């Protein structure tokens, strides 16, 4: 087993800081991507991002710039472009050691409305990135997949050897990405590692729009004393994972020694499930703590279940622990405390 399996998070960061490397983060101006680039920059890395700002935000980059400081920001490079354009992907991957691919159409309901665009961005875009990395001899390619692949397959917790149960074009695109990455591993020896993210949350997640994620949306509605919409009966469960754990997993996979984990996909979650009604209760408690109790109990509006949504989701993370030493350390409660504090105190949440 590779040495990294036994490394603590502190030891991993020491390894990251010990040598300057060049990283490309696609979708680096987005929610997850901006957290990844912040961690890399804080530890002296050269960071390039590729983003077309269709969902990523320049405000996120300004936040990162302010957090890392002027000197470390000099190690940042922006390539404005679209992964649907192959030549842009080739340009962005020149001289890069590690690619962390997070550019995507990230919404299940949006994919149901527009499956062609979902395919063009998620599947064709990922194939472009794989080809570009192969052409430019990228050392390792990490990419975002999704727990949506599991659908409503009844086994719980969800483990990586389960059959897929694809319920939406979004899930289909992520499944296709995994197959393409595995084929590049088998055909060309390309070191690819996939992550099946469960429900990621944290600061900078967009609370606005028709397809906004539930946590930032509910915080925003509580802040504005609006009625809380709940799709379905509220008893559906999710594995909510703080974004800091996603950052950890990406860096672990990039810097891990050996090849025992390449060509594989890994669940990234907390390994526990929380119902939406339980989640809402926790959010309300945190908002009350932050505001000194100065909010009233919200009104709830139960609405029709959204197309493509699954009923229950919980990650089995044994494989991630065994092969990559993944160790989630932030509970739902702690993650919500950080997240609620950020949203209530941020000058701008869009």
pLDDT per residue rounded down to tens, the chain (350 residues)? 444 445 678 889 999 999 999 999 999 999 999 999 999 999 999 999 999 999 999 999 999 999 999 999 999 999 999 999 999 999 999 999 999 999 999 998 899 999 999 999 999 999 999 999 999 999 999 999 999 999 988 899 999 999 999 999 999 999 999 999 999 999 999 999 999 999 999 999 999 866 678 999 999 999 999 999 999 999 999 999 999 999 999 999 999 999 999 999 999 999 999 999 999 999 999 999 999 987 888 999 999 987 767 788 999 999 999 999 998 999 999 999 999 999 999 865 44
Q: Environment class of residue 59 by beta-carbon count within 10 Å: exposed (0-12), middle (13-18) or buried (19+)?
A: middle
Alpha helices in 94-168 (DSSP H): 108-113, 115-118, 125-135
What is the pLDDT at residue 210?
63
- Select from 147, 182, 187, 183 the least CA-distant residue to 168: 147
Q: What are phi and psi of 240, to 5 degrees?
A: -90, 125
This prediction's pTM: 0.94
Sign of CA dihedral 50, 55, 56, 57: positive
Give the separation between CA 320 and CA 323, rounded to whole angstroms: 6
> How far is it, in rounded angstroms, from Cα 111 to Cα 30?
18
3-state class of 186 per DSSP?
A: helix
Evaluate whether 61 touches 29 at the Cβ level (below 8 Å).
yes
Q: Give me 178's structure tokens.
A: 């995994």
Q: Where are the beta strands (DSSP E) in 179-328?
A: 192-197, 199-201, 228-231, 237-238, 240-242, 264-268, 274-275, 300-303
252: tokens are 């672990």
pLDDT at 249: 97
Whole-angstrom Cα distance, residue 23 to residue 38? 12
* Separation of first and last alpha carbons in the chain: 43
Residue 157, preceding bond cis, omega within 30 degrees? Answer: yes
Determine the pLDDT at residue 113: 95
User: Which pLDDT value is given to residue 11?
Assistant: 86
Q: Nearest 10 degrees: CA dihedral of 197, 202, 207, 211?
A: 0
φ/ψ of residue 210, rounded to 5 = -65, -25
The pLDDT assigned to 44 comes to 98
Q: 56 exposed, middle or buried (CB, 10 Å; 0-12, 13-18, 19+)?
A: buried
Helix (H, G, I), strand (E, B) or coil at 64: helix
Residue positions counted in the chain: 350
* pLDDT of the residue at 3: 42
- Provide the pLDDT for residue 287: 95
Bridge-based pairing state of the strands 274-275 and 237-238: antiparallel
CATH numbers and ranges of domains, the chain: 3-345 (3.40.50.720)
């Amino acid at each position: 087993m590779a040495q990294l399996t036994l490394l603590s998070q502190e030891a991993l960061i020491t390894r990251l800081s010990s040598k300057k490397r060049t990283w490309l983060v696609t979708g680096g101006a987005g929610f997850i991507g901006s957290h990844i680039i912040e961690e890399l920059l804080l530890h002296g890395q050269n960071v390039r991002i590729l983003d077309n700002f269709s969902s990523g935000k320049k405000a996120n980059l300004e936040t990162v710039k302010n957090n890392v400081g002027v000197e470390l920001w000099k190690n940042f490079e922006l390539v404005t472009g679209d992964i649907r354009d192959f030549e842009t992907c080739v340009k962005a991957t020149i001289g890069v050691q590690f690619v962390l691919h997070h550019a995507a159409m990230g919404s299940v309901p949006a994919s149901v409305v527009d499956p062609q665009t979902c395919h063009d961005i998620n599947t064709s875009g990922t194939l472009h990135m794989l080809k570009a990395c192969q052409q430019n001899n990228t050392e390792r390619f990490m990419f975002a997949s999704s727990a949506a692949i599991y659908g409503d397959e009844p086994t719980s917790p969800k483990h990586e050897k389960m059959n897929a149960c694809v319920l939406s074009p979004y899930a289909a695109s992520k499944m296709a990405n995994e197959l393409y990455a595995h084929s590049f591993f088998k055909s060309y020896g390309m070191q690819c590692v996939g992550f099946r993210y469960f429900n990621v949350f944290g600061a900078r997640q967009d609370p606005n729009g028709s397809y906004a994620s539930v946590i930032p949306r509910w915080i925003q509605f509580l802040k504005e004393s609006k009625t809380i919409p709940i799709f379905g009966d509220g008893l559906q469960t999710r594995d909510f994972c703080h974004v800091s754990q996603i950052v950890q997993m990406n860096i672990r996979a990039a810097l891990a020694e050996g090849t025992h984990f390449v060509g594989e996909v890994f669940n990234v979650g907390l390994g526990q499930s929380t119902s939406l009604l339980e989640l809402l209760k926790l959010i309300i408690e945190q908002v009350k703590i932050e505001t000194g109790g100065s909010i009233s109990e919200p009104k709830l509006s139960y609405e029709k279940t959204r197309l493509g949504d699954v009923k229950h989701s919980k990650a089995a993370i044994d494989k991630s622990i065994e092969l990559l030493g993944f160790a989630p350390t932030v509970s739902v409660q702690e993650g919500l405390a950080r997240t609620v504090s950020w949203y209530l105190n941020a000058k701008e949440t869009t």
